[in-house]
Every structure is written in C-alpha cells, then in structure tokens.
Structure 1
C-alpha cells in the first residue's frame, strides 16, 4: 500500500512541508510521484517516529541523519546515546533547581526574597550551574576567532 504525502502527513502528524524538507536533506525518500504528489512506502511512518524521538532527545536533524545508513537501516551510536542521556540528566538536575527556586519565590513569607537565606542559597546554586566545570578553563571551551 503506497501513501501519498497528504496521508503520511495526516498519519504521522508531520506537515507536508516538513516531509518535503526531510526528503530534501535525505532523512526520508519518496518512492515516486502520482502527478505532483510524492508517494511513500508505509515504512516511512516508523522512520518519522524515529526522527521525532531523536528530535525530542535533543539530536539535530544532521545527527539523526547520521544514524541512518545509505540503505535506510538504523545505526545507533551507543556512545552518542550515552552522552545525550548524560546531557538530559544534567538538564533534569538544573530544572529541579529552577523548580525549587520558583516554588520558594512563590511561597516564601519573607518581606524581601533577598533577605531570605534559603532563597539566597538557591541563587548561589543557580549561579554555580552557569560556571564552567572546575579544572576546565573557560578559554578551552571557547573557539578563538579564525579557528
């Protein structure tokens, strides 16, 4: 059963323009055309689900494209997946700090939040999250002009 681009868009939730873009950059392939409408094999729905999952995990479309072999087979680089999982774990920690700070600001009975020791501790924690890791010079993380 061949599906046209409108059917793929409806069943996947991906807009037709995004499907055309994905095809242009090599993420998916149509199997032909019926008039001006692109035709797809139903297996494209699985691939679109994988693309969506990769995007939700924070992978760029270029990174996602690199996870597919020329023949369309999936190749998941485990080290990249571990690194992304670690990145998400750190984001979760940062979000918990932010959640706690927002709840404290909302519930703190102090006349001024800046007078509140708990709030000041949260501010300190938040500011530490923005600094580079200990032992790593900030200049190492920055690209020099012209490089």
Structure 2
C-alpha cells in the first residue's frame, strides 16, 4: 500500500513552517515535491523527516547553503567533513555552557543565599 501524498499546507502545518518556507527550501534543493494536485505541491510523507533534519541543522547554526551541501555530501567531501567536525566541537562547547547554566539554575531554585547570584556554589557551577 502506497502512503498518501501530503499537500503543501499539511506539510507546512505538521512541520511548523509557512508554505513559503517550503517553496524556498525547494528552490535551495533541501526538499523535493512529489508532484502537484492541481496548483498545489504535494510531498511524500518522508519529507517531514527531511524537514526535521533541516530544522536541527539550522538550530545547530548551519546555513541553508551548508545544509544543501550536507544533504548531497559524499565521503570524499573533505572540506564539508572538516566543517562538520568543527561544528560538532562548537556544539560540545555550547552543550557544556548550557549544562553549567542548567545546573546553576537548579541550584539557585533551592538556594537560601542572599542574593542568589552571589552564592559560591552558583558562581562555581557557571564559571
């Protein structure tokens, strides 16, 4: 049994995007419509996984051009692989900072020190 195609409005709603974003992503080679139903683009349901990947990559700081390149990359693309490794290192740093901030906020939520931001434990965990 073949999965039913989704029209552009349904894909946009499910992905939390405007239809214009889907058309932009299509122009940039990030997604490909399956065809048309009248004047409306239709997509295979697996486009939602692709859009999740695009959203994740955008959240990690990749540009649209980098994502387009990433989606067609081969193992021989050394420059892209280097960029990916560099981005992974940046994300490790961000994760470390966010983890320290989370731990500090959890501590401050139960700390009795006045003022909270001068608590030695608070300062140690974010520093």
TM-score normalised over the length of structure 1: 0.57
C-alpha distance 61-119 of structure 1, shift in aligned 2 (>3 A): same
Higher mean Cα deviation, 15-24 or 31-40? 31-40
Residues 73-84 of structure 1: pairs in structure 2 closer than 5 A: 74-75=72-73, 77-84=80-87
Answer with 1 or 2: which has the greater Rg.
1
Among 63, 68, 84, which residue is 2:66 paired with? 63
- Equivalent position to 1:101, from 104, 119, 126: 104
**Any unmatched runs of 5+ in structure 2?**
75-79
Please give the residue correspondences for 1:1-147 in structure 2 after superposition, counting only pairs within 5 Å. Answer: 3=5, 5-6=7-8, 9=11, 13=15, 15=17, 16-30=19-33, 32-40=35-43, 44=47, 47-68=50-71, 74-75=72-73, 77-113=80-116, 116-122=119-125, 125=127
- How many aligned positions are there? 119
Structure with bigger RCO (C-alpha 8 Å, 6+ apart)? 2
**Structure 1 residue 42 displacement after superposition:** 6.3
Structure 1: runs of 5 or more not aligned: 69-73, 126-147
TM-score scaled by length of structure 2: 0.64
- Confirm or deny: 8 A CA contact 1:30 1:41 kept in the other structure: yes
Deviation at 1:24, TM superposition (A): 2.9
Could you tell me how far 1:46 is from its partner in structure 2? 5.4
